[in-house]
């Protein structure tokens, strides 16, 4: 819940000049609902993807304040971010709700950016793998092998989000490798290898290259550092080193 309309469009415009025509890195924006249409328009003619930060598990009806997947599809929004740690831990979304949302998005033919990750307490209790397995398996329950091609995972350790703490490349690698192994068991090796798994958690220009050098890390879900060109552009450039 950051930036206003002008700042959002200025950010897109600035990045468009640097990365809008490039095909060596994929860039996606997930603006607040009220700015989806103008940001989508500003990204026309570029390689940029625009997605929504959330969607309702309900198709329609008396759910004041919610936004349905069909509404997003009507705006030609191709992707929805689901299961973000703030949705889970601030707003109390359960694994079952995340699963229902994944199902809605996939049934509408859209893409899913699925977030998962453990809290500090869960990591210290050595429950990282248990928590990630529960979140992943419930979210993907009933998902077909064909549908997997429209899903991107984002591992975001809650203890590293906005705290300045970053999972070391070794810590991140361990979880990413574990998640890919889970995907292989749920689907097959080919599906697991072709699924992108991003890392999110205090990603900055000075750590992105080391993180992206990890074989099982395919990209980054960038938080606060994505709000200004001065901090986001170096991350995009650093990811290619």
Label residues 167-205 b or e (16+ Cβ within 10 Å = b): bebebbbbbbebbbebbeebbeeebbeebebbbbbbbbb
Neighbours of 19 (CB within 10 A): 20
Give me the catalytic one of 57, 99, 156, 176: 156
Distance of alpha carbon 42 from alpha carbon 31, whole angstroms = 12
Q: Judging by beta carbons within 10 Å of its beta carbon (0-12, 13-18, 19+), is residue 41 exposed, middle or buried?
A: exposed
What is the distance, to the nearest Å, from the Cα of residue 192 to the centroid of all Cα atoms in its chain? 17
Token reading at 185: 């068991």
Give me the catalytic one of 57, 84, 118, 176: 84
DSSP structure class, residue 160: G
Dihedral of alpha carbons 94, 95, 96, 97, sign: positive
84 is catalytic: yes
Q: Which residues are catalytic?
A: 84, 156
């Amino acid at each position: 819940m950051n930036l206003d309309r002008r700042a959002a469009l200025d950010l897109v415009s600035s990045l468009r000049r640097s990365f809008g025509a490039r095909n060596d890195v994929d860039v996606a924006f997930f603006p607040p609902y009220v700015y989806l249409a103008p940001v989508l328009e500003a990204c026309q003619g570029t390689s940029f993807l625009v997605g929504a930060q959330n969607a309702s598990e309900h198709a329609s009806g008396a759910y004041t304040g919610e936004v349905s997947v069909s509404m997003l599809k009507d705006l030609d929004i191709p992707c929805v971010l689901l299961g973000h740690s703030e949705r889970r831990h601030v707003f109390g979304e359960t694994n079952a709700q995340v699963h229902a949302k994944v199902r809605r998005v996939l049934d509408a033919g859209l893409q899913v950016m699925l977030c998962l990750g453990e809290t500090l307490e869960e990591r210290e209790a050595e429950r990282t793998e248990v928590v990630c397995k529960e979140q992943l398996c419930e979210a993907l329950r009933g998902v077909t092998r064909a549908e997997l091609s429209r899903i991107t995972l984002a591992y975001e350790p809650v203890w590293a989000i906005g705290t300045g703490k970053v999972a070391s490349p070794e810590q991140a690698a361990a979880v990413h490798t574990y998640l890919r192994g889970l995907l292989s068991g749920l689907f097959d090796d080919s599906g697991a290898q072709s699924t992108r798994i991003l890392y999110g958690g205090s990603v900055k220009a000075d750590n992105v290259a080391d993180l992206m050098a990890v074989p099982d890390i395919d990209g980054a879900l960038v938080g606060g550092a994505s709000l200004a060109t001065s901090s986001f552009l170096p991350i995009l450039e650093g990811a290619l080193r």
